[in-house]
Chain A
Amino acid sequence: MKLQAAILMIFVLPVSLAAQGLDPSAILHPVPGSWPTYNGDYSGRRFSSLKQINQTDVKDLRLAWLYQIHTGQGGSPFGPEIKSTPLEVDGILYFTVPDHAWAIDARTGREIWQYKWQSQGGIHIGNRGVAIYHDWLYFETPDDHLVCLDKNTGKFRWAVVIADLDLEYFSTPAPLVINSHIIVGVGGDSLDVPGYLEARDPATGAVQWRFNTEPRPGEPGSNTWPNAQAMEHGGGMTWLTGTYDPELNLLFWGTGNPNPVHAPQSRKGDNLYTCSIVALNPDTGKLVWYFQASPHDTHDWDDVETPVVFDADVNGKPRKLIAQAARNGYFFVLDRTNGKNLVTSRFDPDLNWSEGVNQKGQPIPNPEKQPKTDGALVNPASGGATNWPPPSFDPESGLFYLSSTPSYSVYYLTDTSAHPEGYGGRDSIVWAESALVAMDYKTGKIRWRHVYPGEGESFSGILTTAGKLLFTGDPSGNFIAFDPESGRILWHTVLTSSASNGPMTYELNGRQYLVVGAGDILYAFTVPQTGCA
């Protein structure tokens, strides 16, 4: 490495620099090369227009820095894992694991601050990250608090309770800022509690509106439940960050499975609005449309997977679309102005739980594949054919990419009473593998599918870029660049464990950074630039 002359200069900073931060209007049109929300922008495409790292120079990718987290005692008995996608705002990365948030220098990986929340409990399975509004940063905790910090210092501002820990709620999503709303979702399906989504005031954390997953008696949708008791305990958690269309002013969010999870005898009917994509007015929380991906689910297949927003041609006409690869193994393309189904197809060829698709584009569950006391053999397992790892839509290839887990499980019904509770059953997984799948949104057909040779499951999300690259991880700890068109592998490196979050990218001072989390380490890669020693 060449020696460099270091020149220290002292600047007098203008006072007006303070209290700017990230204006919500800047998220509408993100500065090119920034990553100001969980999905990078509101669309959930996870496609970056950056192309300094491209098919030609990807072979030269090298480690720029790495940052290892330290969390001390407590938390998950299996150790912390970075499942959050960092936000990049003004040269700083912000990310989380349960009970912890960090700010690190996006250029160097040096820690700026770390914040630890004193937990009162809750399931510490993961945390998806932060939201930023001006100079305030928000994240949710396993013990159901929305915590607000000063993003510049990491200093605590306030925390409000967003769900009842005693009722077994726990909270994992990255909040989403829309104008002056902080959208927060909740999780937890151990004890048949109802799901909901809330907007909170950025300054105080006060509730602005609440959307209840279940209708109230007499409301539309209540006829899909047998009684009020079933609705009050109907589940439908909102545990993964949604997407937004500013033009339509619609917020899109996925809802989880109904409760009791595997024992459905006390909740006959379709169980709206569980296992659905709901489109809400973000200013009021009012339901505008819905599409239910799994009517009357009995397999724990939350439909929270990112509903990805994009505009593209269908039959030669430009359309406003929304697409989702669902945990139940189906790929859906909808008209996002009204929720009308355009495409339903299988991204997992070996699904065996449905009897086909109805006129609305919904899979029809096969009663034989519901959990049975003596077992039902079902593909996929309760973890689903895909899960929370973020998918990506690449407008240049026109393909939708997802991480898939083909799998089989035996589902046993354990609670046959008229009033089952909690899960009411369990599944025993017998086999699984991992695949990267590219779906054609026009036809619903699989364009290409890469099955990883080793056994094991991949939890990595996907990033596509204008450099004509797709980045993701395999189950063996490889971080890989694929050609999005063909599925050909162009580059890889080995991490200390398998990629555990959605990779993201940003540009600073003319240099593109590629960042991925694997276990307790965040890695940043760059390609050498002319003039840079």
Chain B
Amino acid sequence: MAIRIWAMCFLLAAGISAVQAQQQNSPTADQQTTQSATSGEKGGTPPNKSSPEQSAQQSQARSSEEVREAIRKFLAIGAPPNPQAAKRGQAIFVSTCGFCHGPNATGGAQGPNLVRSTVVLHDQGTGKDIGPVVHNGRPGKGMPSFPNFTDDQIHDIAQFLLGRTQAAANRMDYTIQNIVTGDPRAGQTYFQAHCSSCHSPAGDLARIAKKYDPVSLEGRFLYPGNSNRPGMGPPPDPRAEKHVTVTLPSGGVYSGVLVHIDDFSVALRDSSGAYRSWIYNDVKGILVEVHDPLAQHLVLLHQYSNADMHNLLAYLETLK
């Protein structure tokens, strides 16, 4: 294999792009906070559902719902319970069963967790399996009998438990708690030292905390424009696009947005919109320079302590 000249220059070009850039429409919170749709292994990412700029909110809501449905299907979570039945069942459960099993059915003073109980999981929201247990009790284990519950009431309890089980199994729908816990002043100091050469609280970041919920905002400052997981993060920000300059041995120089690069070829789209590509082996002496506006984000990503991350978020949350 011929020797190829191969140069990757990670240049801090964010300043330039920041001037030209209009802030890209904000993604939905759901898209950003949706984690990888994997279980044990990796692989299997939901489809990209980024929406056009017009009618953004509508299609974003739809797209977010579609992603959630796809994830439900991927996780093989069955049909959800009837909401009214589950609500009635919850009321019965809390008043009658909650003392022993806990109001959320996760276990209480005397009774076990029912969300991951084999009987409940086999019941699948029907009431057929839990009915006899409720009616007859478990004298050996100290559970009293409740012979007066009707079949409808048992079914409602079963529907409530089905909802609890599905909520536990559907990790993509877990609610992230308050993450704005840092010290905004420490965050401001960090910002001034590490971020202010490219970003400004009065300029590109003005009112940034109004555009994104905290989890999305955290994801964005850690590493924006994530293209690793299509559909999982926000749509790519034009400011985050890598640029490439290709210098041919003949002297020709081509620049544009990096469309693709691997060990064998490079492709770009130039300012006129034209697409060009080269195979390194066919163009001996080709010089390829990649300019990555996110290079400094990557440097910081390797350096942040949890406190740095929390403080920086707390500071950015003041920009409303």
Contacts and interface: CB of A to CB of B under 8 A. Distances in A.
Interface stretch (B39-47, B54-62, B91-99): B39-47
Interface in A411-446: 412-417, 419, 421-423, 425-433
Contacts of B165: 191
Nearest to B222: A430
Contact of B118 (A122, A164, A382, A432): A164
Given A375-B306, A375-B309, A166 B122 contact: yes
Interface residues of B, number: 71
Nearest to B75: A123
Given A76-B44, A431-B222, A167 B39 contact: no
Contacts of B262: 452-454, 474-476, 478
A387 interface: yes
B197 to A, nearest CB: 21
Contact of B44 (A125, A167, A256, A423): A125
Interface in B158-212: 165, 168-169, 171-172, 174-182
Contacts of B36: 381-383, 427, 429
A123 B76 contact: yes
Contact of B106 (A76, A421, A430): A421
Given A166-B121, A190-B39, A430-B301, A478 B169 contact: no
Contact of B171 (A167, A423, A453): A423
Nearest to A492: B264
A480 B41 contact: no
Q: Which of B44, B102, B165 has the most CB of A within 10 A?
A: B44
A121 B76 contact: yes
A421 B115 contact: yes
Interface of B is mostly: loop
B302 to A, nearest CB: 6
Interface in A181-210: 187-193
A302 B215 CA distance: 26
A377 interface: yes
B40 A302 contact: yes
A510 B263 CA distance: 33
A189 to B, nearest CB: 7
A11 interface: no
Contacts of A372: 306
Interface in B204-258: 215, 218-219, 222-223, 226-229, 232
Interface stretch (A102-110, A279-287, A455-463): A455-463
Interface in A283-331: 300, 302, 304
B44 A78 contact: yes
A190 B304 CA distance: 31
Contacts of A167: 116, 118, 121
Contacts of A405: 42
Contact of A429 (B78, B124, B215, B229): B229
Contacts of B112: 229
A488 B260 CA distance: 21
A431 B106 contact: no
A9 to B, nearest CB: 46
B64 interface: no
Nearest to A410: B218
B306 A368 contact: yes
B116 A408 contact: no
Nearest to A261: B171
Contacts of B143: none
Given A190-B169, A376-B306, A452-B263, A81 B43 contact: yes
A218 interface: no
B302 A191 contact: no
Nearest to B232: A429
A45 interface: no
A77 interface: yes
A327 B266 CA distance: 31
Contacts of A239: 40-41
A384 interface: yes
A233 interface: yes
Nearest to A433: B228
Contact of A428 (B39, B115, B219): B219
A410 B222 contact: yes
Contacts of B35: 382, 426-429
A121 B124 CA distance: 13
A350 interface: yes
Contact of B43 (A126, A417, A431): A126
A168 interface: yes
Contact of B74 (A77, A408, A428): A77
Nearest to A480: B263
A350 B299 CA distance: 12
B176 A412 contact: yes
A170 interface: yes
A238 to B, nearest CB: 10
Nearest to A415: B174
Given A123-B75, A170-B76, A422 B118 contact: no
A353 to B, nearest CB: 12
Contacts of B41: 125-126, 172, 239, 383, 387-388
Contacts of A413: 177
B39 A125 contact: yes
B177 A414 contact: yes
A417 B104 CA distance: 11
Given A77-B74, A78-B44, A167-B118, A375 B39 contact: no
A388 B8 CA distance: 31
Contacts of B47: 78
A430 B180 CA distance: 18
B155 interface: no
B291 to A, nearest CB: 14
A125 B261 CA distance: 29
B115 A188 contact: no
A260 to B, nearest CB: 9
A338 interface: no
A381 B106 CA distance: 28
A383 B229 CA distance: 12
Interface in B81-137: 102, 106-107, 112-113, 115-116, 118, 121-122, 124
Nearest to B105: A421
A427 B102 CA distance: 28
A17 B254 CA distance: 66
Interface in B5-64: 8, 32-33, 35-36, 38-47
B73 interface: yes
Interface of B: 1, 8, 32-33, 35-36, 38-47, 70, 73-76, 78, 102, 106-107, 112-113, 115-116, 118, 121-122, 124, 165, 168-169, 171-172, 174-182, 215, 218-219, 222-223, 226-229, 232, 260-264, 290, 298, 301-302, 304-306, 309-310
Q: Which 8 A-B pairs have the closest CB atoms?
A: A383-B42, A476-B262, A423-B171, A422-B168, A190-B169, A414-B174, A374-B179, A431-B223
20 contacts: A78-B44, A81-B43, A172-B41, A191-B115, A191-B116, A191-B169, A256-B40, A373-B179, A374-B180, A377-B304, A383-B42, A413-B177, A419-B107, A423-B171, A426-B171, A427-B35, A429-B228, A453-B261, A454-B262, A492-B264
Given A124-B74, A421-B168, A454-B260, 13 more contacts: A78-B70, A166-B118, A377-B301, A377-B305, A379-B302, A414-B176, A416-B177, A428-B35, A431-B223, A453-B262, A476-B262, A488-B1, A492-B264
